[in-house]
């Protein structure tokens, strides 16, 4: 059995099959395989050839496979379709994906397709596309299964059976009153276990976990994760049910947020929102990355001015320049580490803004340990690996070692605290903590580090 | 209705209620609320007090709430329980969570509880804990619903109805032959829609997406995401079904992997595996972070040696020191950006090792654009903001500007290419691309950057 599965997954190039049975074989393949597997398969063809293969299939199966194609590919395919074919595809798609795709096709194409859709479908697209980006409303789907509280368990199952083909899921059904207000929910499991004649209102769970249309989509996804839900109902301002977010969308939202967090952390702007790495041009990549890099390079010039200010000191003690890269790197590394820990703990709700003093106390300790350890290493480097032949007579190697070790220790402690503090401040200002990206932090602690370094050197060396 | 939900979510301190109705009120609260809500609620009590509240509840509800408590809390609670109570809790837990928890309680407690469990439960724990960490086997659960191919649809539904309370999910059932080999799967939706007398073998999907016990758990989770599955069957070496991974575990695996990736990226070792940020001591945090920081600080000393080697040049042209921090930062930033893009694209399977030349070509272009832009900015800085009063008579400001601009541009291009190349090499060596962490990369491009810088300066300035 398993061999057969592997085989069908490996059918890479369908056109290798003899021409005669081609269509039949493809139909058989579509019926037995997961639509995502079929989509991957025809994704390597041109959009026109892919459509030629899909066209003879039964419309709902065709729409299911189409839904699993890459977005770019879907758009290209739609652009070449006749109005009627395009409208038929749209009719059978899941409502949330249909609304998202509709927004991405060219406006003239939208105007051609819209009149070919049924009134209810037009309304649905209009409604679903009206919500602001990143809200629960913008990711929900309207093809949920509502139930009346008066049905019996067996009537409810019969009802779900009938509506199943048009619904995103029938495993969770929502019990609504006359104003479409959410009274409770039942799972198909509840209905099957229950007495056949028990009423839905008796079986249902009246305490429903839900989201509001205006909630952040990531918060909604985290609710699905926290409560192990198959779907989360979404209500509008009047507490009426308007849609659901399903677990598979929650996984995608969480993955997307991960990517965005990581990119924000590395000061790359909005790159994964539109296209994948390989489909974005070098120019697009450049635009996404240049902003922060230039801003930070300009900020990095501040470090340059500090160095310039202490030029005399550097000429007198050339060994100080030797430790500048290590000081900058170590400050950046320790600061980025504490920032990463705090950003992630905030995202996972392990800590909140009110824990600020607990966090700073902890990071101060971690910074102290790291600072002591690194200070000792730097002192050892100065004493044992010299490079201090040309120091002024009045100064000892020992004093230089102490100055550098103290400056490094202080730099590490400061960087660790700044790294922990900035994400908390960002969070307190209702900004995403990840904006205090590692590159920005590195540049900031570079500046503080150099100030600490030269001031400490002047103090200890008495110049 | 919604007001009622909010209210019950807000019951923060149950002991505010009058003593008399306390137990009854709590029971009512447990029955109507999501077990995760109840768990959050009693999680603020001491483990002993929480047990006092849970003890009178019906055993399966009690186990469900217990399953949603934090792991540390569960361990503390188990440690104080009588053998019989502990065994009863273990009996009713989901099999995967039970096995995970069992491995975490102290050995003497394990030995006390084990004999109090039924033979089948002992076997199950032994089996599930035997798989290597991070494999599909280690995260699967054994309480799946198997079906015989000879049943009719209505018999199958009746069977699922009976076994439902003991199964993790009845929405996906797996059809097995006599050797427990996976023949296919049916969803409860398929069974409900099908003709009542159709046989399971007719209804089932013979092409099953599955994982092997030894597969990476993240790959298994990604399959659940890709194919929108509720559960993924896991087979052993003999192709026999031994467990399933459910979608809710997939979400948790994906979240956990992301945390680990981010921490690896910032050179923090295994911190989130055991405890949360706030529950780890400063000393633990120090140990998790110190390794890489020290290693990189020592590597950073190489940069120091390079600076030392060019000391004379620096004394002659003190302005060169002014641009060292900006050169280091910018190289680190651009390198980290391309590394981040490539690591993430590899993780999302948008690119593979074979795309190496495509990726390098793209990054070379991005690096060229960034390098040109930054070179121009650096040149402008030298020309307009001076700091070059003390240069040797033989050299012009213009030449210094050109030297610095060229070095910076070359540094940015090199750093971008190194940043893209290292994760691909790591991936090719079967290492996690994220190990080429941003801090390691920053230190490496620091070294290459300084070499480029001084060599370029010598070349252009002719000293």
Chain B residue numbers touching A270 (CB-CB < 8 A) = none
pLDDT tens readout for residues A330-389: 888 888 888 888 887 887 778 888 888 888 998 899 899 999 999 998 888 888 776 555
* DSSP letters for A72-114: HHHHHHHHTS-HHHHHHHHHHS-HHHHHHHHHHS-HHHHHHHG
Q: Which two tokens stand for residue B241?
A: 């079904």
Structure confidence at residue B392 (pLDDT): 62
pLDDT at residue A102 greater than cutoff 80 = yes
Chain A residue numbers touching B206 (CB-CB < 8 A) = 1, 4-5, 32
Question: Which one of 1.10.3860.10, 1.10.357.20, 1.10.10.10, 1.10.3720.10 gives the CATH number of domain A282-461?
Answer: 1.10.357.20
Residue A170 forms contact with B (CB below 8 Å): yes
Give the pLDDT band (50/70/90) at residue A12.
Answer: very low
Place of tokens 């400050």: A331
pLDDT at residue A191 greater than cutoff 90 = yes
Place of tokens 């400001």: B397
Chain B residue numbers touching A320 (CB-CB < 8 A) = none
Q: What percent of chain A has pLDDT over 90?
A: 44
Q: Is the CB of residue B398 less than 8 Å from the CB of residue B296? A: no
Q: Which of A366, A362, A352 is nearest to A423 (CA)?
A: A352
From residue B251, give the alpha-carbon distance in Å to each of A253, A255, B262, B317, B350.
11, 9, 17, 57, 20
Distance between CA atoms of A113 and A444, rounded to whole angstroms? 53
Distance between CA atoms of B12 and B393, rounded to whole angstroms? 77
pLDDT at residue A457 greater than cutoff 70 = yes
Interface contact A439-B332, CB threshold 8 A: yes
Interface contact A206-B4, CB threshold 8 A: yes
pLDDT tens readout for residues A265-280: 776 665 555 567 777 7
Residue A384 forms contact with B (CB below 8 Å): no
User: What are the residues whose beta carbons fall under 8 Å from the beta carbon of B413, sequence distance 6 or more?
Assistant: B364, B367, B368, B370, B371
**Where do the structural domains in chain B lie, given as residue ranges?**
2-130, 146-265, 282-461
How far is C-alpha B85 from the geometric centre of its chain's CA atoms?
34
Residue B182 forms contact with A (CB below 8 Å): yes
The pair phi, psi for residue B173, each rounded to 5°, is -120, 150
Residue B311 forms contact with A (CB below 8 Å): yes
pLDDT at residue A303 greater than cutoff 50 = yes
Mean pLDDT of A72-80: 90
Q: What percent of chain A has pLDDT over 70?
A: 90
Mean of all residue pLDDT scores within chain A: 85
Q: Which two tokens stand for residue A249?
A: 């969308």
Structure confidence at residue B18 (pLDDT): 54
Q: Is the CB of residue B293 less than 8 Å from the CB of residue A333? A: yes
Residue A377 forms contact with B (CB below 8 Å): yes
Residue among A188, A293, A340 minimizing CB distance to B334: A293
Q: Which of A148, A368, A343, A382 is nearest to A258 (CA)?
A: A343
Structure confidence at residue B416 (pLDDT): 92
Tens-binned pLDDT, residue by residue, of chain B (463 aa): 343 343 344 334 444 545 556 788 888 888 888 999 999 889 889 999 999 999 999 988 999 999 999 888 999 999 889 988 999 999 999 999 999 999 899 988 899 898 899 999 999 999 999 999 889 999 999 999 999 999 999 999 999 999 998 898 999 999 999 999 999 999 999 999 999 999 999 999 998 999 999 999 999 999 999 999 999 999 999 999 999 999 999 999 998 888 887 777 776 665 555 567 777 788 888 887 788 788 888 888 888 888 888 888 887 887 788 888 888 888 888 888 888 888 888 877 788 888 888 889 988 998 999 999 999 988 888 887 765 555 666 677 888 888 889 999 999 999 999 999 988 988 888 877 776 667 788 888 889 999 999 999 889 887 7
- Report the range of poorest mean pLDDT among A13-17, A27-31, A437-441, B211-215: A13-17
Question: How far A30 CA sits from the closest chain B CA (Å)?
Answer: 11
Give the pLDDT band (50/70/90) at residue A305.
Answer: confident
Structure confidence at residue A432 (pLDDT): 74
Distance between CA atoms of B421 and A276, rounded to whole angstroms? 19
Residue A392 forms contact with B (CB below 8 Å): no
Q: Is the CB of residue A400 less than 8 Å from the CB of residue A391? A: yes
How far is C-alpha B84 from the geometric centre of its chain's CA atoms?
36
Class of domain B146-265: alpha beta
Question: How far A337 CA sits from the closest chain B CA (Å)?
Answer: 6
Structure confidence at residue B234 (pLDDT): 97
pLDDT at residue A34 greater than cutoff 50 = yes
The pair phi, psi for residue A89, each rounded to 5°, is -60, -50
Q: Is the CB of residue B363 less than 8 Å from the CB of residue B416? A: yes
CA angle B90, B91, B94 (to 5 degrees): 80
Residues facing residue A199 across a β-bridge:
A152
Structure confidence at residue B14 (pLDDT): 43
Secondary structure of chain A: what % helix, strand, coil (to 5)? 65, 5, 25
Question: How far B108 CA sits from the closest chain A CA (Å)?
Answer: 31
Chain B residue numbers touching A382 (CB-CB < 8 A) = none
Structure confidence at residue B13 (pLDDT): 43
Structure confidence at residue A13 (pLDDT): 43
- Half-sphere exposure for B117 (CA within 13 Å, toward CB): 24
Class of domain B2-130: mainly alpha
* DSSP letters for B86-141: HHHHHHHS-HHHHHHHHHHS-HHHHHHHGGGS-HHHHHHHHHHTTSPTTBHHHH-B
Residue among A157, A251, A300 minimizing CB distance to B225: A251
From residue A173, give the alpha-carbon distance in Å to each of A140, A187, B192.
15, 6, 15
Domain A146-265 and domain A282-461 have a common topology: no
Structure confidence at residue A437 (pLDDT): 64
Chain A residue numbers touching B332 (CB-CB < 8 A) = 332, 439, 442
Distance between CA atoms of B98 and A447, rounded to whole angstroms? 51
Question: How far B372 CA sits from the closest chain A CA (Å)?
Answer: 11
pTM over 0.90, yes/no: no
């Amino acid at each position: 059995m398993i061999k057969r599965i592997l085989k069908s997954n490996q059918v890479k190039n369908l056109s290798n099959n003899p021409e005669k049975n081609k269509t039949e074989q493809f139909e058989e393949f579509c019926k037995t395989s997961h639509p995502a597997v079929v989509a991957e398969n025809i994704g390597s063809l041109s959009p026109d050839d892919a459509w030629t293969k899909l066209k003879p299939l039964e419309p709902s199966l065709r729409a299911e496979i189409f839904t699993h194609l890459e977005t770019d590919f879907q758009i290209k395919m739609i652009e070449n379709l006749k109005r009627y074919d395009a409208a038929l595809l749209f009719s059978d798609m899941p409502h949330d994906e249909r609304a998202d795709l509709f927004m991405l096709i060219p406006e003239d194409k939208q105007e051609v397709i819209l009149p070919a859709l049924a009134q209810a479908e037009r309304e649905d697209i209009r409604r679903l596309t009206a919500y602001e980006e990143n809200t629960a409303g913008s990711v929900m789907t309207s093809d949920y299964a509502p139930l009346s509280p008066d049905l019996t368990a067996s009537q409810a199952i019969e009802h779900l059976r009938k509506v199943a083909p048009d619904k995103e899921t029938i495993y969770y059904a929502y019990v609504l009153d006359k104003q479409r207000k959410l009274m409770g929910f039942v799972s198909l499991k509840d209905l099957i276990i229950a007495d056949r004649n028990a009423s839905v209102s008796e079986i249902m769970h009246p305490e429903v976990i839900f989201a509001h249309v205006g909630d952040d989509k990531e918060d909604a996804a985290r609710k699905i994760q926290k409560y192990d839900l198959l779907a989360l109902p979404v209500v509008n301002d009047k507490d009426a049910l308007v849609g659901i977010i399903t677990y598979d969308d929650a996984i995608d939202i969480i993955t997307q947020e991960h990517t965005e967090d990581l990119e924000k952390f590395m000061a790359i702007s909005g790159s994964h929102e539109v296209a994948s790495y390989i489909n974005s041009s070098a120019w697009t990549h450049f635009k996404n990355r240049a902003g922060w890099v230039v801003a930070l390079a300009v900020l990095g010039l501040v470090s340059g001015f500090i160095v310039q200010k202490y030029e005399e000191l550097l000429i007198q003690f050339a060994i100080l320049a030797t430790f500048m890269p290590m000081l900058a790197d170590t400050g950046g590394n320790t600061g980025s580490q504490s920032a990463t820990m705090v950003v992630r703990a905030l995202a996972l709700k392990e800590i909140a803004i009110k824990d600020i003093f607990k966090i700073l106390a902890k990071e101060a300790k971690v910074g102290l340990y790291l600072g002591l350890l690194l200070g000792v290493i730097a002192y050892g480097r100065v004493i044992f690996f010299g490079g201090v032949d040309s120091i002024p007579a009045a100064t000892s190697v020992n004093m230089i070692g102490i100055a550098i070790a103290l400056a490094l220790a202080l730099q590490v402690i400061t960087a660790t605290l700044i790294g922990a503090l900035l994400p908390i401040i960002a969070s307190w200002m209702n900004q995403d903590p990840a904006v205090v990206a590692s590159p920005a932090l590195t540049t900031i602690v570079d500046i503080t580090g150099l100030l600490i370094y030269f001031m400490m050197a002047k103090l200890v060396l008495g110049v």
